[in-house]
C-alpha cells in the first residue's frame, strides 16, 4: 500500500534510510519533508519498506527524489510502483528526477519512459580564508541573457539545480540567486543561498562558466554571508571540474544524471 507519510512514520523511515545507508543525507530532512507532506511510504504487511519524495520544482514541474527501498525488499517492483504513483499525483506536464551513480536505477527509469537530458557532478569547498575580489553583480534578466548564449547550458537540458532538484530558470527565479558576470559579459556564475538540504550552512553554485575570477567571487560572497561551505552541482565537463578543483573544491567523481518524462 502507498500512502502519504505522517509524523508517526518518522521512526520507521529513519530505520529504512539507515538500512540503505547509515550516513544517508535525508536523515536530517525527514521531519521537514513529512511535515510539508512531500513523502510517500510503501507498506508491506504493516512494515514500511519503501519511500519516495514527490514535490514541485522551482519551475512548477514534478520532481521525484529520495527513493529508498529496504535491501530485503528490492527487485519486487516497489520503486516502480512508488514512481508511477507519484507521477499520477503530480499532475504536471513534465516530471524530473536525478540518479546518482546507479546503473540499475538508470535502467529502471529508462524503461518507465524517462529520457536522459543532462549529466552533472557534485563538488564541495570548505570556506576558510577568502580574499575579496571585484565582481559585477547582475539582475535575473541579464543572467538569463548570458545563459541563452551558453553552449554548456543548452547541452545539459537548459536546467540548473538546487541540490538534486533541477529546473528551468526564468528571470524571476534568477532574481532569487546571486548572479555575477565577467567584464565582457560572456561568462556567468549563479549561487543559490536557499538550498533546503544545506540547512543554512552552505551555498551552492547552480551554474558556472569556466572562469576562475567568477568562482572566487562566489566564494567571497558566500563567506560574506556566513556560509561554512560552498557546494557546486555543475555540468560534468573536464575543464570546468579541473578549474574548481584548483580553487579548493573536492569531489569523488560522482555522476548525477537528470531524466525527464513528459506526461501529456
Average pLDDT over residues 24-41: 94
Whether the predicted pLDDT of 12 surpasses 80: yes
Low-confidence winner among 60-64, 125-129, 258-262 (lowest mean pLDDT): 125-129
Whether the predicted pLDDT of 264 surpasses 80: no
C-alpha 68 chain-centroid distance: 17
Identical topology for domains 2-92 and 121-258:
yes
Average pLDDT over residues 27-38: 95
Task: Give one word for 193, left, alpha or beta, with left for phi > 0 and alpha for psi -120 to 50.
Answer: alpha
Whether the predicted pLDDT of 212 surpasses 80: yes
CA separation for the pair 198, 122 (Å, rounded):
13
**Which among 242, 243, 257 is positioned nearest to 215, based on CA atoms?**
243
Q: What class has domain 2-92?
A: alpha beta
Neighbouring CB atoms inside 10 A of 46's CB total: 7
Average pLDDT over residues 14-21: 95
49-73: per-residue pLDDT in tens?
A: 999 999 999 999 999 999 999 999 9
Tell me the residue ranges of DSSP E strands in 14-151. Answer: 39-44, 47-56, 62-69, 94-100, 115-126, 136-137
Q: Which fold has domain 121-258?
A: Aminopeptidase (3.40.630)
If one compares 260 and 253, the residue with the highest pLDDT of the two is: 260
CA separation for the pair 61, 132 (Å, rounded):
38
153-174: per-residue pLDDT in tens?
A: 999 999 999 999 999 999 999 9
Q: What is the pLDDT of residue 215?
A: 97
Q: Which three cell numbers stand for residue 84?
A: 508511477
Task: Give one word for 3, left, alpha or beta, with left for phi > 0 and alpha for psi -120 to 50.
Answer: beta
**Which among 132, 135, 126 is positioned nearest to 178, based on CA atoms?**
135
When pLDDT is cut at 50, 70 and 90, the band that residue 199 belongs to is confident
- The answer to whether 39 and 52 are in contact (CB under 8 A) is yes
Q: Average pLDDT, whole number, for the chain?
A: 95
- At residue 98's C-alpha, the angle toward residues 93 and 103, to 5°, is 125
- The answer to whether 89 and 54 are in contact (CB under 8 A) is yes
Q: What is the pLDDT of residue 247?
A: 96
Average pLDDT over residues 85-110: 94
Domain ranges of the chain: 2-92, 121-258
Percent of all residues in the chain with a pLDDT value above 70, rounded to a whole number: 100
Distances (CA, A) of 164 to 15, 121, 161: 23, 10, 6
Please tell me the pTM assigned to this model.
0.93
Amino acid at each position: 500500500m502507498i500512502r502519504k507519510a505522517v509524523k508517526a512514520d518518522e521512526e520507521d523511515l529513519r530505520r529504512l534510510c539507515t538500512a540503505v545507508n547509515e550516513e544517508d543525507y535525508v536523515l536530517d530532512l525527514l521531519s521537514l519533508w513529512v511535515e510539508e507532506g512531500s513523502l510517500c511510504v510503501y507498506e508491506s504487511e504493516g512494515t514500511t519498506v519503501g519511500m519516495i519524495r514527490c514535490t514541485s520544482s522551482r519551475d512548477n514541474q514534478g520532481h521525484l527524489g529520495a527513493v529508498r527501498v529496504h535491501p530485503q525488499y528490492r527487485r519486487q517492483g516497489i520503486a516502480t510502483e512508488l514512481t508511477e504513483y507519484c507521477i499520477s499525483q503530480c499532475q504536471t506536464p513534465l516530471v524530473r528526477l536525478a540518479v546518482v551513480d546507479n546503473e540499475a536505477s538508470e535502467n529502471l527509469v529508462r524503461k518507465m519512459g524517462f529520457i536522459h537530458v543532462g549529466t552533472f557532478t557534485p563538488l564541495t569547498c570548505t570556506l576558510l580564508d577568502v580574499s575579496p575580489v571585484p565582481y559585477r553583480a547582475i539582475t535575473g534578466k541579464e543572467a538569463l541573457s548570458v545563459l541563452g548564449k551558453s553552449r554548456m547550458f543548452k547541452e545539459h537540458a537548459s536546467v540548473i539545480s538546487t541540490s538534486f532538484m533541477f529546473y528551468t530558470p526564468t528571470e524571476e527565479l534568477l532574481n532569487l540567486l546571486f548572479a555575477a558576470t565577467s567584464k565582457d559579459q560572456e561568462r556567468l556564475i549563479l549561487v543559490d543561498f536557499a538550498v533546503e538540504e544545506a540547512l543554512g550552512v552552505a551555498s551552492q553554485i547552480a551554474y558556472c562558466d569556466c572562469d576562475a575570477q567568477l568562482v572566487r567571487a562566489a566564494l567571497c560572497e558566500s563567506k560574506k554571508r556566513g556560509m561554512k561551505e560552498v557546494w557546486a552541482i555543475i555540468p560534468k565537463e573536464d575543464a570546468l571540474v579541473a578549474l574548481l578543483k584548483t580553487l579548493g573544491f573536492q569531489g569523488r567523481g560522482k555522476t548525477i544524471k537528470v531524466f525527464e518524462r513528459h506526461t501529456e
